[in-house]
Amino acid sequence: MRVFVTGGAGYVGSHCVKHLVAHGHEVVVYDNLVYGHRAAVPGNVRFVKGDLGDAPTLRAALTTGPFDAVMHFAAFAYVGESVTEPLKYYRNNVANTLGLLEAMHVVGVRRLVFSSTCATYGVPDRVPITEFTTQNPINPYGRSKLMVEWMLQDSARAWGLGACALRYFNASGAAADGSIGEDHKPETHLIPIVLQVALGQRPHVGVFGTDYDTPDGTCVRDYIHVDDLASAHRLAIEAIRPGEARFYNVGTGKGNSVKEVIDAAARVTGRTIPSDPNPRRPGDPPVLVADGDKIRRELGWQPAYTDIEQTIASAWRWHEAHPNGYEA
Ligand code: UFG
């Protein structure tokens, strides 16, 4: 297939691009490089620097196809910032996705895989979370992603869009060959922060909340390897049909606490990782773990990484070799 990838220079997007190319798909990346990295896109992939909100540039790029499908990663994803600057999130994640859908409609691209999130569930009433768990997001980021899911459902019915929203749990890890990895500025995610402590770039990791109703008092998350997210995207794009909207959780089904992640990172790196108890971070649900049965059954997807140490080891290879990320 010829696939147009928005946000293909970002963390999850770049791993998906690499995976698609390895599986024989032809890819064009569209990214404004605000958070993405040019170096994360393979040299043999066509790259268009453009903003999702720039309708003429987006349409011009989409008409260079014909494209069989769009994978849409471009979005803002800082939960805390979405609370203080909600309109920024509704503009980029919702309005600009609306612009993308309009452009796809006009140009005649009928397949879309969309990066959704477990943040659309809010604080789930039970775990593991299935696709039938009530979606009740508790921050503008989660709400912006849920709004797009609704647009996809309506577009499938009204004009034959074939859409698949993948609700990621905690994306983590780095490419097995060490060529690309996670580089957010600012970094807020647990695993890269822990590895920065291991590298001596930070003195300690603050543990946000040690009094949750969980086995060790710290939050539990489902850390899904970014290459497993990539294989889910490829299977989704190959499976979707015009006129249908599908929704899948993508996680390992296994939860790890913040303390377990820190301990696993200490074992993987062989370094001491000092940690400090901190107050709870507002908006953090205690436990988010996926029930991944639907995507396994319907798409035949299986995660290759099921052990947190394996995932952290892949991230560590990247961080150790690239202590400043993509900066030389
Ligand atoms: N944490 C710490 N210390 C840190 C950073 C994180 O204790 O310095 C904790 C958090 O409180 C949380 C866990 O580690 O319990 C994981 O935090 P991350 O920031 O790595 O990830 P989140 O679970 O907050 O966020 C992820 C995605 C978001 C998505 C969210 C859904 O990155 O895009 O899941 O809850 F919205």
Q: Residue of the nearest CA to atom 3 in ligand 1?
A: 207
Domain boundary among 250, 269, 289: 250
Do 213 and 236 belong to one domain?
Answer: no
Tens digit of each residue's pLDDT (9 = 90 or more) over 258-292: 999 999 999 999 999 999 999 999 889 999 999 99
Annotated catalytic residue within 141, 168, 212, 223: 141
Question: Tokens 């299977």 correspond to what residue?
Answer: 235
- Rounded to the nearest 10 degrees, the angle between the axes of helix 258-269 and helix 190-198 is 40
Do 242 and 264 belong to one domain?
Answer: no
Q: What is the pLDDT of residue 135?
A: 98
Burial 252-274 (b: 16+ CB within 10 A, else e): bbbbbbbbbbbbbbbebbeeebe
- Region 88-97: mean pLDDT is 98
Any alpha helices (H) in the chain, and if so which ranges? 11-22, 55-62, 79-84, 86-89, 96-107, 140-159, 190-198, 226-239, 258-269, 293-299, 308-321
In whole numbers, what is the pLDDT of the chain averaged over residues?
A: 97
- Region 68-81: mean pLDDT is 96
Query: Which CATH number belongs to the domain containing residue 84 in this structure?
Result: 3.40.50.720
Residue 28 pLDDT exceeds 80: yes
Q: What is the pLDDT of residue 265?
A: 98
Return d(Cα 224, Cα 289) in angstroms, integer.
Answer: 10
Q: What's CA 326's distance to the chain center, in Å?
A: 19
Identify whether the C-beta of residue 40 lies closer than 8 Å to the C-beta of residue 84.
no
pLDDT exceeding 90 applies to what percent of the chain?
98
Return d(Cα 74, Cα 10) in angstroms, integer.
Answer: 8
Residue ranges around ligand 1 (CB below 6 Å): 77, 79, 117-119, 141, 170, 188-190, 193, 205-208, 219, 221, 258, 281, 284, 288
Cα of first residue to Cα of last residue in the chain, in angstroms, is 34
- Assess whether 141 carries a catalytic annotation: yes
Closest ligand 1 atom to Cα of 169: 34
Whether a cis peptide bond, with omega within 30° of 0, leads into 66 is yes
Tens digit of each residue's pLDDT (9 = 90 or more) over 233-252: 999 999 999 999 999 999 99
* Ligand 1 midpoint to CA 120 (Å): 14
- Region 170-195: mean pLDDT is 97
Tens digit of each residue's pLDDT (9 = 90 or more) over 289-314: 999 999 999 999 999 999 999 999 99
Q: What is the pLDDT of residue 283?
A: 84
Residue 328 pLDDT exceeds 90: no
Domain that holds residue 208: 190-222+254-327
Q: Is residue 178 in a domain?
A: no
Q: What is the pLDDT of residue 111?
A: 98
Do 137 and 107 belong to one domain?
Answer: yes
Do 47 and 195 belong to one domain?
Answer: no
DSSP for 52-121, written as a single string: TT-HHHHHHHHTT---SEEEE------HHHHHH-HHHHIIIIIIHHHHHHHHHHHHT--EEEEEEEGGGG
Radius of gyration of the chain from its Cα atoms, rounded to whole angstroms: 19
Do 127 and 13 belong to one domain?
Answer: yes
Q: What is the pLDDT of residue 282?
A: 87
* Ligand 1 midpoint to CA 189 (Å): 6
Number of folded domains that form the chain: 2
Q: Where residue 21 falls among pLDDT bands split at 50, 70, 90?
A: very high
| Dihedral of alpha carbons 129, 155, 63, 55, sign | negative
Q: What is the pLDDT of residue 224?
A: 98
Do 15 and 164 belong to one domain?
Answer: yes
Could you give the 3-state DSSP secondary structure of residue 167?
Answer: strand
Q: Is residue 185 in a domain?
A: no
Q: Which two tokens stand for residue 65?
A: 């196809």
